[in-house]
A and B are shown apart, each in its own frame.
Chain A
Amino acid sequence: QLVESGGGLVQPGGSLRLSCAASGFTFSRYWMNWVRQAPGKGLEWVAKIKEDGNEKYYVDSVKGRFTISRDNAKNSLYLQMSSLRAEDTAVYYCARLIYRSTWNWFDPWGQGTLVTVSS
């Protein structure tokens, strides 16, 4: 199970930290991701982090502004967001990445937390 928290209303240029609490599986054995969905729009992958936290990847639109991290001792995933823009307004989902050989997919997903960037 994945449970996100930390969303809310923030002004443009502000910062916010999202958290995702994992349970029911060995968190430290999986890549983890953040995926977002703007209101009424489709899904956009945001970032992913390796099991040990030593590899991180981001979509270009958030590079330099967002930082993904994890604490395996706390079974938690984080997304530190700064220099927020109106276009970052979305529901943010955390999702586990399942690997089987070279194939991979998102499963499960959390219920999401809404981030609204507005003055």
Chain B
Amino acid sequence: DIQMTQSPSSLSASVGDRVTITCRASQDISSYLNWYHQKAGKAPNLLIYAASSLQSGVPSRFSGSGSGTDFTLTISSLQPEDFATYYCQQSYSNPLTFGGGTKVEIK
């Protein structure tokens, strides 16, 4: 199984900050990497697919990069509605696996 490791597991940031979350795969997954965010008590929502493609309707302050084993989600200017938990997920092979999550909290 492919293990997905996110870092950090949590971070505190202020509105307007640039935030970067990293995700590392235990083997080469090319660009088969997706990002979701999840607000407390809600279902996850897709942000980025295929490592760097922005889902329709998602603000342009979100961006994704990387390929192979190392990936990054960047929020260029954190907004109040962005405080949530973020998950990466590999779609390279079964079982589909998620990272452990990164909780973004208000500083």
Contacts and interface: CB of A to CB of B under 8 A. Distances in A.
Interface string A43-70: 1110010000000011110000000000
Contact of B91 (A57, A104, A110): A104
A108 B46 CA distance: 8
A88 B71 CA distance: 30
A107 to B, nearest CB: 4
Contacts, number: 63
Interface of B: 31-32, 34, 36, 38, 42-46, 49-50, 55, 87, 89, 91, 94-101
Contacts of A98: 49
Interface of A: 33, 42-45, 48, 57-60, 93, 98, 100, 102-112
Contact of A43 (B87, B94, B95): B87
Contacts of B96: 33, 45, 48
A101 B89 CA distance: 18
B82 to A, nearest CB: 18
B43 to A, nearest CB: 4
Contacts of B50: 100, 103, 105
21 contacts: A42-B98, A43-B38, A45-B89, A45-B96, A48-B96, A93-B43, A93-B44, A103-B91, A104-B32, A105-B34, A105-B46, A105-B50, A105-B89, A105-B91, A106-B44, A106-B89, A107-B46, A107-B49, A108-B43, A108-B45, A111-B43
A42 B45 CA distance: 14
Contact of A106 (B36, B42, B101): B36
Minimum-distance CB pairs A-B, first 8: A109-B43, A105-B49, A45-B96, A107-B46, A103-B50, A43-B98, A105-B34, A42-B101
